Amino acid sequence: MSENTLKKRKPPSTAWIPGQTGNPGGRPKDLAYVRELAREHTVDAIATLASIMADTDAKASVRVAASDALLDRAWGKPTQPIEHSQGEQSIIPMDEVERRLRAIGRLPAPEVIEAEPTDGH
């Protein structure tokens, strides 16, 4: 098919109208109930994880997974470092930024205040 014979695809009839939300009722309320039921088992779940972690007959991968789950719940998941590769060339001193902004008219020139001579102090 050439470019001239391609037809534009019609949006599906279920496409959102601009400004319309896909979930007008918000989060279902029964999720809070399910969450509360699950939280009632927290102590048992932690005990089970600790038991699996301490079970020397369990596979090492299972013990590690239980250990990770316990640590995540106790201390939160570890942060992931973000690497970036900016060289020193990309760092521009603030006075240079101000000079460039003044050059293109985006920053007014600094106000000069004339000092009055004092009585010798």
Q: Confirm whether pTM is higher than 0.85.
A: no
Question: Quick one: pLDDT at residue 83?
Answer: 73
The residue behind tokens 């102590």 is 43
Closest CA to 45 of 34, 53, 56: 53
| pLDDT tens, residue order, the chain (121 aa) | 555 566 777 766 667 777 777 777 777 777 778 888 888 988 999 999 999 999 999 999 999 999 999 888 888 888 877 776 665 566 778 888 888 888 888 888 777 777 777 776 6
- Grouping H, G, I as helix, E, B as strand and the rest as coil, residue 36 is helix
* Residue extents of the structural domains in the chain: 44-75
**Long-range contact pairs involving 83-89 (C-beta distance under 8 Å, separation at least 24):** none
